[in-house]
Structure 1
């Protein structure tokens, strides 16, 4: 025994993802708040896009609610949809192209297996429902890519779930 503590690779991954998330918030909303400026739709888009990448997992629905007083619902929903679908496309591609053992190493075996089991069992319903709730659809997109789930079906069902989620959030919180 050489006296060194073994630090799992997952720790470095979590540390990296945390630093990226903190920097994104600091350079967007944080900077706007300190400068006393109004909120910027580009900041929302950047945060929203990053939150839909499987390795960051941020509650971007809160950012949507935060920006509601500053922009029309159509602008926010459009930005949310474009950024979420783009990020999920990337998640899907990563799932398809990266070696499964690398993804499992980063995300955890149980988490990936659960997502895969749900997609195998319920298919499109799983993708739709998981797009309705925060923090779950990026992992489902990754698992769908790993399973080589039909991309067109994945895309259509994801868009429907995301659109329903953001329309409901808009209607509930528009003030």
Structure 2
């Protein structure tokens, strides 16, 4: 009798996240490029929002840089901030509402434990730095929710870090 290979649940989560990310890119930027149309701000918003969800980690800073020539800096920064903050609020809410054991089944336990440790050790500074730099801020948002970190403080520090990041990117690439 042949032994069956057990496929871990995380594999299916990664596969699903990859399929969703590919679909988001295909149905937005890919379709516009294929049709020869100008990139729309809606496409940017959808890609950017998706990239800030904790289970779809994508390099959203590259999308920001890519869309800068097509729209004014103020428009791109406003859409980037709005979509990132909505997605981060969703990540925070998931962390707050879903039991940690369920989250650990979906994501790498070590990543979340490290994020929790950094938040406990450095608090607002961790949230600020992870939003300022192209690091995994959605995981930090999830961990902040799991720790029941004060939402108003989390929101304000995240928004400030993201605003500074996008201002610097605008300044460097416009």
Q: Same fold (TM over 0.5)?
A: yes
CA apart distance, 1:134? 2.0
The corresponding residue for 2:158 is 158
- Distance (Å, rounded) in 2 between the aligned partners of 1:2 and 1:98: 38
TM-score, scaled to structure 1: 0.98
CA apart distance, 1:135? 4.2
**SS of residue matched to 1:68:** helix
Q: In the alignment, does 2:16 pair up with 1:12?
A: no
Identify the range of structure 1 (99-108 vs 43-52) with the bigger mean alpha-carbon deviation: 99-108
- Distance (Å, rounded) in 1 between the aligned partners of 2:135 and 2:48: 12
- Distance (Å, rounded) in 2 between the aligned partners of 1:110 and 1:21: 23
TM-score, scaled to structure 2: 0.98
Deviations 1:119-162 (A, max 9, x none): 00000000000001224100000000000000000000000000
- Distance (Å, rounded) in 1 between the aligned partners of 2:113 and 2:35: 45
- Distance (Å, rounded) in 1 between the aligned partners of 2:85 and 2:41: 17
The corresponding residue for 2:56 is 56
RMSD: 0.9
- Distance (Å, rounded) in 2 between the aligned partners of 1:123 and 1:104: 22
| Structure 2 residue runs without a partner (length 5+) | none
- Distance (Å, rounded) in 2 between the aligned partners of 1:57 and 1:155: 20
Deviations 1:61-96 (A, max 9, x none): 100000000000000000000000000000000000
- Distance (Å, rounded) in 2 between the aligned partners of 1:85 and 1:2: 50
The corresponding residue for 2:65 is 65
- Distance (Å, rounded) in 1 between the aligned partners of 2:126 and 2:13: 27
The corresponding residue for 2:115 is 115
Give aligned pairs, total: 174
Q: In the alignment, does 2:23 pair up with 1:23?
A: yes
